[in-house]
A and B are shown apart, each in its own frame.
Chain A
Amino acid sequence: MGRSLVVTTLIVAATLFVIVTGLLVGAKPLGLSKLWPVLLSPDGKIDSILVWSLRLPRSLAAVVAGAGLAVSGYLLQALTRNPLAGPDITGVASGAVAPIVFCFVFLPWISSVYYPFVGLAGGLAAASVTLWVSRGGEGRPLHLALGGISISLFLGAATTYVLLLSGPQAPSLLFWLSGGFQGRSWPHLLYMTPWVLGGLAGAFACHRIIGMLALSEHASIGMGLNMRFWKPVLLLFAVLPVAGVAPIAGPVAFVGLVSPHIARLLKPHNIGWSIALTAAIGALMVVTADVIARSVALPRELPVGIITALLGGPFFIYLVQTRRFSLKGGQSR
């Protein structure tokens, strides 16, 4: 209990540190001495605009998105009892993105306010197909990985085709598709927060169900769990954050997959702490990636997706190689 608290506090502190660092770096660097007056009393000058309407909301958006994606990955891994599950590999992310791209290009009269709902429907549909292929997560992990990857590839091909048809909109769509927080401000933050909070709250509320699911499907049925009810509910909570984050930041790769594993390595005390730790790690990962993405290639900006893929990808490959990592279905960790 105490240890989990300390670890989580440390990660939150690191996140805060990165947020503050993120306020300082950028196209116009800001001295630490100048930061405090600007933060405490915004005066409408260039520095305060930089901090208050560009850098701070953007970093907060990255924090919220990271936490949401990480929790989504956690729920998907718990739901399928498969260490490879995550928004990318189960097809949830591409399921959310493909219909949004379609709406953006072909149905421009649909207001972007509704994009999270479009993403939710798409993500749920894609995840349902993947789950059906992998027999509700009971099949071998290979089924889940290959089913999800094929669905992602399929939706990716469809998205690429839509991009080809979209003509001049393609570059901006592509930047969004690779994930990024460029130009994201308070409205965007407010827009996606409820979705992420919904997923987080759902995860915390279901922590006992998740604990039972971790044992085995039969055991949890034996303990009186109605799987037909709880599996779709958990899936809904897993897709909610992705649906909220996708219209703002696009699919940010690997965060959802890797964060739960890092959290697991830190051995949290119980399921509740696991969720909190996973969310904190996801937040730290994305906000760090965002600060890197907007500061290494000045004056250009890299998509956040590259940085998270470069951070998370090698870890994922390492994970696949380790012997401890079980590839048989029906095991939690």
Chain B
Amino acid sequence: MTVSAPVHRPSLFGPLLALLAMMVLVLVAAVFLGVADIPPGDVAAVLTGHGSDEARSIILDIRLPRIVTGILAGIHFAVAGLLLQTITRNPLADPSIMGISQGATLAVTVFLVFTVYISEPGSNTLAALPLAWLPAIGTLGGMAAGGLIYVLAFRLDLGPLRITLCGIAIGAVLHAAAIGLIAGWGSARIEILLEWLSGSLYARSWTHALFLVPFTIAGLAALPALRRSIDLLRFDPTVARSFGLSYRKQFSIVLLLSCALAASAVGAVGPIIFVGLVVPHLARFLVGRHFALVLPLTIALGAFIVTLGDLLGRLLGQAEEIPIGVITALFGVPVLIALLRKIP
């Protein structure tokens, strides 16, 4: 390692620089391109504090908050995926597979059914939807599902494989319950839920970004403190304990952290499938054995992929934009299948 590192490091510089350039490019494109055609000059004017009112409202109140929310959510999903993959020692762990997303979905569904349907059955007005509450409710639901997985995992001292399978099972049950509720509810307001269900950045405002910021800051600030435990949780419990790690406590803390990150992101933008799964693998693939670089690259790539996916969805779909969840599923599945074939 000490011998190979100096050989490898210079070769990483080029690709990382190219990646950085691509990220900046996509970010700029995401601000400048959109369904509403605004000349680049006007966009630049808005960004420097001038420009017409219309352009200002489109850029500052629609595009920018949407991009920022997407970046934050992408970071959340990617870091949560990396943490889950590390602690379950399972290269395929992901919040959208292990029940956290489904818990958030069920909570949001139950909340909407009870607040809207019970208070005014039969009404089809969209304005009555308490949309502002959705992120918080989704976060609570995702955390609850994470707690359930945790309880099941520790009550019987399950291994990582069984934890993953428990997560899959819980996810399947919660998903069935949520879909059942939506279907049984059967009203014209279903579209809001569908939009949310497929994972979408449509109409995300600064409120959503502000909702995510505390989680992002807390999560990222906790990571350096947890670095040693994360490194050790990669190993068997016995091995980790022999290094002086209080396995159970650290496992719980890291699981809690990843649940909080994933659940808050699902609450804000809905379940964006596969970002948490694929991004850590991409990061590992790009930087190889340089463990120190995996985490920063995971964060950067998470932000990058969600921004890129959202831009694609906006441009390809035109007026009827394609939800980001659909885009990530379309591009994530081939990557995942290839990974599954490669892992022994």
- Residues of chain A having any CB pair with chain B under 8 Å: 84, 88-89, 129, 132-134, 141-143, 145-147, 149-151, 153-154, 157-158, 160-161, 163-165, 167, 170-172, 174-175, 177-178, 180, 253-254, 297, 300-303, 305-306, 308-310, 313-314, 316-317, 320-321, 327
Contact = CB atoms under 8 A, between A and B. Distances in A.
Contacts of A88: 172
Contacts of A177: 179, 183
A180 B152 CA distance: 31
Contact of B169 (A147, A160, A163, A316): A316
B184 A327 contact: no
Given A145-B168, A158-B329, 18 more contacts: A89-B168, A132-B341, A143-B340, A143-B343, A149-B168, A163-B194, A164-B191, A164-B198, A172-B186, A174-B179, A302-B180, A303-B183, A306-B176, A316-B169, A316-B173, A317-B173, A321-B156, A327-B162
B322 interface: yes
B195 interface: yes
B183 A142 contact: no
A178 B176 contact: yes
A129 B333 CA distance: 11
B17 to A, nearest CB: 33
A150 B162 contact: no
Contacts of A150: 97, 274, 333, 336-337, 340
22 contacts: A145-B165, A145-B168, A146-B340, A147-B337, A149-B168, A150-B97, A153-B273, A154-B329, A157-B199, A161-B326, A171-B187, A172-B186, A178-B176, A254-B172, A300-B184, A305-B183, A306-B184, A308-B176, A309-B172, A313-B170, A313-B176, A327-B162
B150 to A, nearest CB: 14
A61 to B, nearest CB: 18
B121 to A, nearest CB: 10
A164 B341 contact: no
A305 B156 contact: no
Interface in B137-191: 152, 156, 158, 161-162, 164-166, 168-170, 172-173, 176-177, 179-184, 186-188, 190-191
Given A142-B164, A147-B340, A158-B326, A174 B173 contact: no
B309 interface: no
A23 B16 CA distance: 69
A169 to B, nearest CB: 11
Contacts of B267: none
Considering the complex of A and B, which 9 residue pairs feature the smallest CB-CB distances, nearest first?
A306-B180, A313-B173, A309-B176, A157-B329, A178-B183, A154-B333, A160-B198, A175-B183, A174-B183
A253 B161 CA distance: 23
A305 B96 contact: no
B90 A142 contact: yes
A219 to B, nearest CB: 23
Interface string B93-133: 00011000000000000000000000000000000000000
A153 B170 contact: no
Interface in B297-344: 320, 322-323, 325-326, 329-330, 332-333, 336-337, 340-341, 343
A172 B168 CA distance: 28
Contacts of B343: 143
A295 to B, nearest CB: 14
A84 B165 contact: yes
B134 interface: no
Nearest to A314: B173
A317 B152 contact: yes
Given A146-B92, A303-B184, A160 B197 contact: yes
Q: Which of A149, A167, A300: most chain B CB closer than 10 A?
A: A149
B97 A253 contact: no
A301 B187 contact: no
Given A160-B198, A175-B186, A253-B172, A129 B337 contact: yes
Contacts of B332: 154
A254 B171 CA distance: 13
B173 A309 contact: yes
B329 A320 contact: no
Contacts of B158: 321
Contact of A317 (B170, B176, B182): B170
B127 to A, nearest CB: 19
B299 to A, nearest CB: 24
Contacts of A174: 179, 182-183, 186, 190
B237 to A, nearest CB: 17
A212 B65 CA distance: 61
Interface string B181-222: 111101110110011011100000000000000000000000
A283 B303 CA distance: 48
